[in-house]
Structure 1
């Protein structure tokens, strides 16, 4: 059977900026028959995420991420529908997902690597299982619960950087649902800031491209910052940490400002910022959601409940067609999206 797939065409290098040309669409073939334990699936949705930037390098800088290989099919979070099954627990028509879904239109996969989905849990919006009800939502929820030390009634202020992104837009809302009394987001355009406040319930949002971030934080967080959900690192994080309270907590989710730089992960803080962190006893521990998969099922159900109740607002940027996944990746890395970046492959 002839299929279309997207392979890694070239590496941008550790310090390079990813471009659409780093990926290549090509034709390939898969077997016409399905073996015992396998299923043939048609791809519906693929997830495009910031962490994938690391996979473009020969050295990902991480012990849990494997690099994509040149001229080999890329992979990541994906959703599809079973077209043929020789797996005892999966049947034709089932919707399934995997963290290692190949970027191709049709694939033959090991049925044991797939998780069956229940569309009703997300009001039929299957793509939500790649975002708000998937690994992105889990990262936000478990990051806050495991590293944020949020307590109802404690009058805590949370700041979220990269707040208009897939994880940040959820984290601010979840911080409120978990008990924070004030939530402030940091984003890169006035439009994003407006959406955070008007649609997603943030108390305020800062456009970091306009004015002094530290000054605006002092005005918007008069009681200081108790919880910082850090998606970006760099100068923005230095500004937030300078406003943090004694015994406060940094949820180290991502460092997107550092992904195109040849630095270790998590990157060390500048000397002055590290001094503040130590003096104020601010926790800054690496958070990896895959370490908490024993809490996945209950957490996904919680996320789905919030979605059904309208308490968790979801934004997606959907790009049509496998051929456009490279452009979608470039746009995402340039911060051009609001919410989760999804590629719709088949209807």
Structure 2
């Protein structure tokens, strides 16, 4: 055993981030000091951070956006923070609003909206509510590991199914198969579409990039299970990280098409706020020989910066390498017969507002 340098981040098995930097709103900064007592710094004895789930009472659960590069206007996220630990996750900086770190805190200190179904029911019951598909998982994954026991995503789906409200789901966890008993009947009424994110076929790379998500081959099998059950399913090759996983784009699309995916989409990696520092740290730990090349290509796609928030280009980038990715994706989609991710139209005409509970029960069953 040897002492580790307290000022140098170390890779943590099962976690994406290797450090816990302060969020951008914090006024206090912390630094490690070695006082000579090495027992606490032995790498064999260092405890691994455990996941802590804190229940919270949400006042609202449906969020709305008018961003021109996002193809839905309503979204819902059962959790804040995500145990999958994807180091590239653009949602990491949102943990700063909780006075928590976008680093390890984001993947170990999860907030669960325990009253999600109750508030959703209330919001759908409001007079004048306008129906449009609700995306589940736009910020954090609705099927991250804590969902296995908490079942908040399933509770929300039960409300949506009862109300015949359309929704889309984005996930990188095969746990979505658990809810096929809800998703299949909804799909028969054109009320749901699922997108499974697969950005590599390299299990070793995935274990470092997205350590607690389902393995790539398992996600591909989930696409097959959804398709076999009649649920329209698409694949998202996202995010594409140049010189790291872009080589797998065509193979992912080929495998997803073979499993029954009907549409496809992609995005390139985005590094807003604190994420750029966390990602550079990850590269130094896991891909030091190509770190400089990866960041150079990312900067080429964002006008010389690590990130450009321009709505027109933030999802796909611009420049020679971004154009090459776009052409490769389009050629592969034509080859494997994919439609665009936005082409499937969900049915908004079936919606019926939730009925308030009544001690008299229902006199007449609805169709």
Q: Which has the higher contact order (CA 8 A, sep 6+)?
A: 1
Q: Tell me the TM-score normalized by structure 1.
A: 0.29
Determine which structure has more spread, i.e. the larger CA radius of gyration: 2
Q: Tell me the TM-score normalized by structure 2.
A: 0.28
| Greater strand content | 1
